[in-house]
Structure 1
Amino acid sequence: MTKSAFPPVINAATRLLILGSLPGDASLKAAQYYAHPRNGFWPLIGGVLDEALTALPYADRLERLKARGVGLWDVIASAERSGSLDAAIRSPEAADLRGLIKGLPQLRAVAFNGKLAAGLGRRILSDLDGLALVDLPSSSPAHAISLSAKAASWAILGKFLLDKPAA
């Protein structure tokens, strides 16, 4: 079954772009990034921002990310996949990462949420100057390390955030 990425969550203040691989079934069903209840994304990025994002409605979470200079998207625009595991992705079509990044003048870093996102994203973006590329352990519950261990790696993202929320 062909599955497609969501539109990017960005604005002119985006300094940090977090890229996943492709939304999983729970996310696609809910039409929300990282909707699986056991996915650690919202607690992890909430820890980086020092905000309790999981308690907020989804639209408010996205607004808080954008206010702090954080954007979301995926490295894969569409692919064949049965289920939600990255290992099941077949015939991936890359998202236009370079095109998106051209429109983000404040962008300082791209963080990859998981190995597949990092492998594909680095191939597309590795030759761009002045942009930090950061590999993160996947927030997926399928990546079986503790949330606290993941949080220690994700903490590096704090140095790319806006200190004050964007207007």
Structure 2
Amino acid sequence: MPAVRHASFAPQIGPDTRLLILGSLPGARSLAEHQYYAHPTNQFWRLIGAVIDEPLADLDYDERLLRLRVAKIGLWDVIRTAERRSSSDSEIREVEAHDLAPLVTDLPELRMIAFNGGTAAAIGRRQMSPPLGITFVDLPSSSAANTIRFSAKQEQWQQLAEALIDD
């Protein structure tokens, strides 16, 4: 199967975003459905739902995005376009990364940037160093391909709540 060039989605970010979660590049199911984390085995919506104590996995996609926006959480990907034969990050080639720095400077309330998985962290950290007052967090991937237990992932994802606490 030949590699196909794929592009990421538009960011889902509000002007008051405090927590920005960056993935690598949407997988085949997400691209087909035009939704972040659309594959039913991806644990993203359960993980972030636990952080904000909302049953996001049980909601329709538009409601999920609305609840994230209300919680001051933004979503995007570190890769603008790349070639890939399958949904696996290990298949990603010929990467064109997003320029993340301008986005970060346009979010005055941003406190934390979380990278969903090792590929997102490696590419995202190359794009910028942590601006003053913003914490970088590397998370275990929410993908089912990352086979660590859900409870172990959840324990690490729970640290994202720190970015959402009112001063």
Per the TM superposition, whether the score is higher than 0.5 is: yes
Q: Structure 1 vs Structure 2: percent identity of aligned residues?
A: 53
C-alpha RMSD of the superposition: 1.0
Confirm whether residue 105 of structure 1 aligns to residue 108 of structure 2.
yes
Q: Flag structure 1 segments of 5+ consecutive residues without an equivalent.
A: none
Residue identity opposite 2:43 in structure 1? G
> 1:27 aligns to what?
30
CA distance in 1, matches of 2:88, 2:131: 29
> 2:119 aligns to what?
116
CA distance in 2, matches of 1:123, 1:130: 18
> 1:47 aligns to what?
50
C-alpha deviation, 1:127, in angstroms: 4.9
Instruction: Note closer, same or farther for the CA distance 1:44–1:22 as it changes in structure 2 (3 Å cut).
Output: same
> 1:8 aligns to what?
11
Equivalent pair of 1:19/1:110 in contact (CA under 8 Å): yes
TM-score of the superposition, structure 1-length normalised? 0.95
C-alpha deviation, 1:82, in angstroms: 0.7
> 1:142 aligns to what?
145
Total equivalences in the alignment? 163
1:86 to 70, 84, 89: 89
C-alpha deviation, 1:122, in angstroms: 1.0
C-alpha deviation, 1:144, in angstroms: 0.7
C-alpha deviation, 1:162, in angstroms: 5.2
Instruction: Note closer, same or farther for the CA distance 1:99–1:56 as it changes in structure 2 (3 Å cut).
Output: same
TM-score of the superposition, structure 2-length normalised? 0.95
Equivalent pair of 1:14/1:71 in contact (CA under 8 Å): yes
1:95 to 98, 114, 133: 98
Equivalent pair of 1:111/1:135 in contact (CA under 8 Å): yes
Which deviates more from structure 2 when the two are superposed, residues 4-13 or residues 97-106?
Answer: 97-106
- Give 4+ residue runs of structure 1 displaced > 3 Å after superposition: none
Instruction: Note closer, same or farther for the CA distance 1:68–1:127 as it changes in structure 2 (3 Å cut).
Output: closer
